[in-house]
Amino acid sequence: MASVTLLKTKGLTRHFGGLKAVNEVDFEIREGEIRALIGPNGAGKTTFVSLLSGRIAPSAGSIEFLGRDITKDPAHKRVRDGIAYTFQITSIYPGLTAFENVALSVQSAQRRAPKPAGLSARDLLHRKTRDALERVGLGERAGDLAGTMSYGHQRLLEVAMGLALEPRLLILDEPTQGLSDGEIENFCALVKEIARSATVLLIEHNMPVVMQLADSITVLDHGELLANGTPEEIRANKTVQAVYLGAD
């Protein structure tokens, strides 16, 4: 595992009125790792990653990405800098085909990357879009309208859209929700392949998936950091068992 710190937070906080959704969380993820973020419903996981991606602003605290303070950067700038976030609820364009959805992400990535010599922008767009769809197993569904696809396939399409952005950090929020057992197995293989070129932050309730994929795990509870550790350490943690794992 690489030792470079990719992203870190210090005292990251978000309050909604009297609700402490995220409260003074210090967090660090290193380049090249697969980190899982787990916790009970209402633990603050989605609020936390929404803070990381810039979808909402913190009440207090700071966020650094590759050593630069991005706390006040808007979401679109964080995407350009290399942070991609697939939502817990699908955020596809239902009236466009799968190909067209992914092509929009490819176009966004192309704006910040030099074009290889000898390849037209159109050819590059087509190739990268097809590659992203093939990686998630949707190559044969490129022409399908996104809105007519099954929920599980829509989740995979959203992952393809995230991959097409060529991120340094890919945040996956409940990606196996709606997937069949066979699709989950393929997804796990995909995440391992993604981790060769990007860091992955995985928010997931499926504990067998978490234990199979994660290099390390962070546990949140009531908006606060409860534990960090390897899968083995988290599985053996009595506090985590009482708060979360023991309830499964």
pTM equals 0.87
pLDDT tens for residues 42-62? 999 999 999 999 999 999 999
Q: How far apart are CA 223 and CA 143, in angstroms?
A: 42
Instruction: Tell me the per-residue pLDDT of 149-201, one tens digit each, with 9 for 90 and over.
Output: 998 899 899 999 999 999 999 999 888 888 889 889 988 999 999 998 899 99
Please state, rounded to an integer, the average pLDDT across all residues of the chain. 90
CB 213 within 8 A of CB 202: yes
Does the pLDDT value for residue 2 go beyond 60?
A: no
Flag whether pLDDT at 134 surpasses 60. Answer: yes
pLDDT at 138 over 50: yes
pLDDT of residue 1: 43
Q: Which residues pair with 200 in a beta bridge?
A: 34, 170
Q: Of the given ranges (13-17, 29-33, 135-139, 178-182), which has the lowest mean pLDDT?
A: 178-182
Q: Which CATH class is domain 1-82+167-248?
A: alpha beta
What DSSP string runs through 5-52? EEEEEEEEEEEETTEEEEEEEEEEEETT-EEEEE-STTSSHHHHHHHH
Residue 8 pLDDT class (50, 70, 90 cuts): very high
Query: Where do the structural domains in the chain lie, given as residue ranges?
Result: 1-82+167-248, 91-166
